[in-house]
């Protein structure tokens, strides 16, 4: 098991992409800290034979507390996967400022804070892996998702700058930019849009979500997890500062 002896913190690991990543890293031998806001993530931690830590990433003090508790529980974190996030759809001139601030805190500032708090230990050990889960909207734009798109673009920029700064310490930093992934969040969006548009759920997938994709299917969470696992392994030790699109060709246009 390639990651035996390593400790991985995965944020937003209670379901969807984060859950798949946590279980895959555990299968690779890592001790996994499963973070989520919802206590139901205890079950994922049990399956991963890891530790569950609850924290609200919208609160900066809670982010610091998460990092400190992760270190206290395990002695140090070797792998950080910044995955937690959420979406809110509004026209830009009606976007609630409080929602904007919360989205940037959870999806951009909190990843910066966790990197800041956990990197000193990685430097001391001369080894670290940071993987930021951005989005295809970290590489392109779309209407009505200004805050989400801004946060995901910022996460790619953070990835590139941190990679240049941390490479000499044996720490790699990369981003993954998926399009629509089959998660409970996306399944909920499909159902909601089907009701709003008065169409079948499969029509929402085909005509809305996959319209710009060359491969006409939703991405599975395990596909994202597989790339995270690769980027954390020794075969990827010279890969840093990259933003990998897993988007079925969406951003190739």
Point out the residues that are catalytic: 148
| Residues linked to residue 235 through DSSP beta bridges, in sequence order | none
CA 125 to chain centre: 24
Distance CA 191, CA 211 (A): 17
Name the one residue in this structure whose structure tokens are 């995965």.
10
The pairing of beta strand 243-246 with beta strand 171-178: parallel
Distance CA 88, CA 148 (A): 8
The two tokens of residue 93 are: 């001139």
Distance CA 141, CA 228 (A): 24
Distance CA 79, CA 171 (A): 9
The DSSP 8-state label assigned to residue 106 in this structure reads I
The two tokens of residue 55 are: 């924290």
């Amino acid at each position: 098991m390639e990651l035996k002896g390593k400790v991985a913190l995965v944020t937003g690991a209670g379901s969807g992409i984060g859950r798949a990543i946590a279980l895959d890293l555990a299968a690779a031998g890592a001790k996994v800290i499963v973070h989520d806001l919802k206590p139901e993530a205890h079950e994922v931690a049990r399956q991963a034979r890891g530790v569950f830590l609850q924290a609200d990433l919208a609160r900066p003090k809670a982010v610091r507390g998460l990092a400190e508790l992760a270190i206290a529980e395990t002695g140090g974190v070797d792998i950080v996967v910044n995955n937690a996030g959420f979406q809110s759809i509004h026209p830009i001139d009606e976007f609630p400022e409080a929602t904007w601030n919360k989205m940037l805190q959870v999806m951009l500032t909190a990843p910066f804070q966790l990197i800041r708090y956990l990197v000193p230990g990685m430097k001391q050990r001369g080894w670290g892996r940071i993987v930021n889960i951005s989005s295809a909207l970290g590489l392109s734009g779309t209407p009505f998702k200004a805050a989400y798109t801004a946060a995901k673009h910022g996460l790619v920029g953070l990835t590139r700058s941190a990679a240049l700064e941390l490479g000499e310490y044996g720490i790699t930093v990369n981003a993954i930019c998926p399009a629509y992934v089959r998660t409970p969040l996306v399944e909920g969006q499909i159902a909601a849009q089907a009701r709003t548009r008065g169409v079948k759920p499969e029509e929402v997938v085909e005509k809305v979500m996959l319209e710009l994709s060359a491969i006409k299917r939703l991405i599975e969470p395990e596909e994202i997890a597989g790339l995270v696992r690769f980027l954390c392994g020794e075969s990827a030790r010279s890969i840093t500062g990259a933003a990998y699109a897993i988007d079925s060709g969406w951003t190739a246009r």
